[in-house]
Amino acid sequence: MSRKGENIYKRKDGRWEGRYKKGVAENGRTCYGSCYGKTYREVKEKLEKCKRQIPKGSSNKLFGTYCDEWLVVNQNNVKESTFVKYSTAIKNHIKPFFGGYQPEMITTELTAEFVNHLIEVKILSTKTVKDLTVLLKSILKYVASSRKIDLIEIATPKYTAKQIRVLSKEEQQRFIGYLSADLDSPKFGVLFALMTGLRLGEVCALRVKDISLKEKTVTVRETMQRIKNLDNDGRKTKIVFTKPKSSTSARVVPLTNMAYELCKERLRKYAMNAFLLTGSETKTIEPRVMQYHIKKYSAACGIEDMHFHVLRHTFATRCVEVGFEIKSLSEVLGHSTPRITLERYVHSSLEFKRQNMTKLEAIGL
């Protein structure tokens, strides 16, 4: 039976619950934690253990405050889009779970509960959960350094990359035929991406000056994306232009004759600083609009499971099939190493595998 002052009571569902003071936030508000068990004695033992884990004379700062500090420290070290991603993840997932804890109370077992919560309750993908645990590790490392405490281990869920769809040669030709007929700006952008392997944001950010007809090249200088707007100006989102994904993503890509001819007519009509997709110096087509168009085009062609990144994977696979040297292909795609190209972007068709298998006949196999 509960005793006065212990803050232990029996719930309507039959379980026992004990509450304890975890700490005081900087705004003076007291934060509480709870322990649950089947019996009064079990909860009392858990409660005493939790109270012992709270460091005596420690700072009142809770983990949520350290999350805010970590964002301030790292704001100028990452791209704006990355900072928005971190801010959203901390606000929606990490602070709601860990924010009221004293840092010393965050254990490996508690982080395991967090991972299970994300998978079983939030129903997040393994990739998203892995990204969140990596972010949590970084914040905990900052806290350990600031608070002079040991860094705990976090079990990261195993992630198996999803196999990306690649257009078959027949689908590719059908799609090119559809896009080439009655070519408009969105169709041009989709077709140009398929011929160069550029990312969606890179295509949307291209300007006329980035195309050299003399050298038959396209220079990737920027990428465009729509991100959550953290400025208090009334807009929920905004378009930003930033440097490409990584240092190796800023690159010069040679154009095929077909891509060259595709660009030539547009370059005659547009000013050098105009966006390649629209011919306007102020207006372009943003990525989500291009995604809408590619779904519409693929549906018209009877091609299923299609999105913009399929074009990049298809381009890489076709390059390998015609004998493209992997190091060069890696640089064309803007990857930091050829390993990324081989592991993520090269998908051999059954036909290509069969062609290579027949080469064994030359040695009697």
How does pLDDT run across 176-222, given as a tens digit for each residue? 999 999 899 999 999 999 999 999 999 999 999 999 999 999 999 99
Q: What percent of the chain has pLDDT over 70?
A: 87
The verdict on 306 and 240 lying in the same domain is yes
**Which of these, 191, 188, 186, 189, lies nearest to 176 by C-alpha position?**
191
Confidence of residue 347 (pLDDT cuts 50, 70, 90): low
pLDDT at 216: 94
Strand partners, 33: 20
The verdict on 256 and 295 lying in the same domain is yes
Higher pLDDT, 334 or 265: 334
Residue 58 lies in a domain: no
Cα 292 to Cα 176, 285, 286, 295, distances in angstroms: 18, 11, 10, 5
Q: Which of 114, 147, 180 is the last residue of a domain?
A: 147
pLDDT at 46: 84
Residue 142 lies in a domain: yes
Question: C-alpha dihedral over 49, 54, 55, 60, to 10 degrees?
Answer: -170
Whole-model pTM: value is 0.73
Residue 162 lies in a domain: no
pLDDT at 345: 67
pLDDT at 31: 67
Confidence of residue 170 (pLDDT cuts 50, 70, 90): very high
Position 53, amino acid = Q
Examine the pLDDT at 350 and tell me if it is beyond 70: no
Confidence of residue 248 (pLDDT cuts 50, 70, 90): confident
Residue 143 lies in a domain: yes
Give the separation between CA 220 and CA 212, rounded to whole angstroms. Answer: 12
Examine the pLDDT at 5 and tell me if it is beyond 70: no
The verdict on 313 and 208 lying in the same domain is yes
The verdict on 32 and 115 lying in the same domain is no
Give the separation between CA 213 and CA 363, rounded to whole angstroms. Answer: 46
pLDDT at 278: 93
How much of the chain is in helix, strand and coil states, percent to nearest 5?
50, 10, 35
Asked whether 92 and 64 are in contact (CB, 8 A), the reply is: no
The verdict on 175 and 229 lying in the same domain is yes
The verdict on 253 and 346 lying in the same domain is yes
Give the separation between CA 218 and CA 253, rounded to whole angstroms. Answer: 5
For 151-167, give one letter per residue: b (16+ CB within 10 A) or e: ebebebbeeeeeebbbb
pLDDT at 189: 95
Examine the pLDDT at 50 and tell me if it is beyond 80: no
Per-residue pLDDT tens over the stretch 57-81: 455 688 999 999 999 999 888 888 8
Q: Number of structural domains, the chain?
A: 3
The verdict on 312 and 196 lying in the same domain is yes
pLDDT at 25: 55
Residue 328 lies in a domain: yes
Position 61, amino acid = K
pLDDT at 28: 56
Question: CATH number for the domain including 347?
Answer: 1.10.443.10
Examine the pLDDT at 314 and tell me if it is beyond 90: yes
The SS3 call for residue 219 is strand
Confidence of residue 322 (pLDDT cuts 50, 70, 90): confident
Examine the pLDDT at 53 and tell me if it is beyond 80: no
Q: State phi, psi for 278 to the nearest 5 degrees.
A: -115, -25
The verdict on 175 and 266 lying in the same domain is yes
CA 356 from centre of chain: 35
Give the separation between CA 288 and CA 291, rounded to whole angstroms. Answer: 5
Q: Flag the least confident range among 93-97, 182-186, 274-278, 349-353.
A: 349-353
pLDDT at 188: 95
Higher pLDDT, 210 or 53: 210
The arrangement of strands across the sheet holding 8-10 comes to: 8-10, 16-24, 30-37
Examine the pLDDT at 27 and tell me if it is beyond 60: no
Residue 157 lies in a domain: no
Asked whether 165 and 122 are in contact (CB, 8 A), the reply is: no
Per-residue pLDDT tens over the stretch 86-143: 999 999 999 999 998 888 888 888 899 899 999 888 999 888 999 999 999 999 999 9
Examine the pLDDT at 245 and tell me if it is beyond 60: yes
Residue 101 lies in a domain: yes
The verdict on 117 and 208 lying in the same domain is no
Average pLDDT on 250-273 reads 90
**Which of these, 323, 359, 188, lies nearest to 258 by C-alpha position?**
188
Mean pLDDT of the residues in the chain: 86
CA angle 119, 246, 347 (to 5 degrees): 65
Give the separation between CA 320 and CA 317, rounded to whole angstroms. Answer: 5
Cα 249 to Cα 192, 325, 334, distances in angstroms: 17, 18, 4
The verdict on 68 and 141 lying in the same domain is yes
Residue 158 lies in a domain: no
Asked whether 223 and 241 are in contact (CB, 8 A), the reply is: yes
The verdict on 204 and 346 lying in the same domain is yes
Question: C-alpha dihedral over 309, 312, 314, 317, to 10 degrees?
Answer: -130
Q: Flag the least confident range among 168-182, 235-249, 324-338, 346-360.
A: 346-360
The SS3 call for residue 85 is helix
Question: CATH number for the domain including 85?
Answer: 1.10.150.130
Q: Which of 20, 35, 53 is the last residue of a domain?
A: 53
Q: Which structural domain range is residue 124 located in?
A: 63-147
CA angle 275, 281, 286 (to 5 degrees): 50
The verdict on 223 and 302 lying in the same domain is yes
